[in-house]
Amino acid sequence: MIWALLSTFGLGVIGLIIAAPLAMAGGHTTFAGAVYNAFHFVCHQRPERSFHISGYQFAVCARCTGLYAGFALATIFYPLARSLKRVETPARIWLFLSAVPLLIDFGLGYFGVWENTFLSRLVTGALLSATAVFYIIPGLMQLANRQRGQNPVASK
């Protein structure tokens, strides 16, 4: 159930990110405006750093698109990589290591050493969030087990 809800949520978020520019192009400005406004709380939405479709930018920037897409895809395919019954998480070092490319990409761009691209932002965001799924799902499963009174397996 947790997996199904997270998968649906992830796909729904991606759907909204893409629906906003399509809605704008179709003249549904009230809906599009509500979506853009909702995402403005979590993303800078700079047009020069955002993908565009039908002449309008996505509801979030390229890096955030990667974060949400990586989360959605990793959640959907999670059961192919691990059993949904497992509540132990990988060693935390993997989560930190998955953040390194994003930090390098951001840092080098911020300090003018290199100009990061839409692709580098998308991929580094997706890597971090896809890795995070392997901590989020077991954590939620552990919480669900506690709610049902089952003994959760200790995580690493």
26: pLDDT strictly greater than 90: yes
Mean pLDDT of 3-18: 97
Beta strand extents in 25-154 (DSSP E only): 52-53, 56-57
Contact between 42 and 5 (Cβ < 8 Å): no
Residue 156 lies in a domain: no
96: pLDDT strictly greater than 50: yes
155: pLDDT strictly greater than 50: no
Nearest-Å Rg of the Cα atoms of the chain is 18
Residue 34 lies in a domain: yes
Mean pLDDT of 108-137: 95
Q: 26 lies in which domain range?
A: 2-147
Residue 133 lies in a domain: yes
Residue 22 lies in a domain: yes
Mean pLDDT of 57-86: 96
Residue 72 lies in a domain: yes
Q: How many domains does the chain have?
A: 1
Which pLDDT belongs to residue 10?
97
Which pLDDT belongs to residue 1?
86
Residue 152 lies in a domain: no
Mean pLDDT of 90-102: 97
Which pLDDT belongs to residue 150?
67
Mean pLDDT of 100-112: 95
Percent of the chain with pLDDT over 90: 85
**CA-based nearest residue to 2, from 141, 129, 148:** 141
What is the DSSP secondary structure assignment for residue 46, as one 8-state letter? -
pTM here is 0.88
Phi, psi values for residue 113, rounded to 5°: -75, -35
Residue 97 lies in a domain: yes
The 3-state secondary structure of 27-77 reads: CCHHHHHHHHHHHCCCCCCCHHHCCEECCEECCCCHHHHHHHHHHHHHHHH
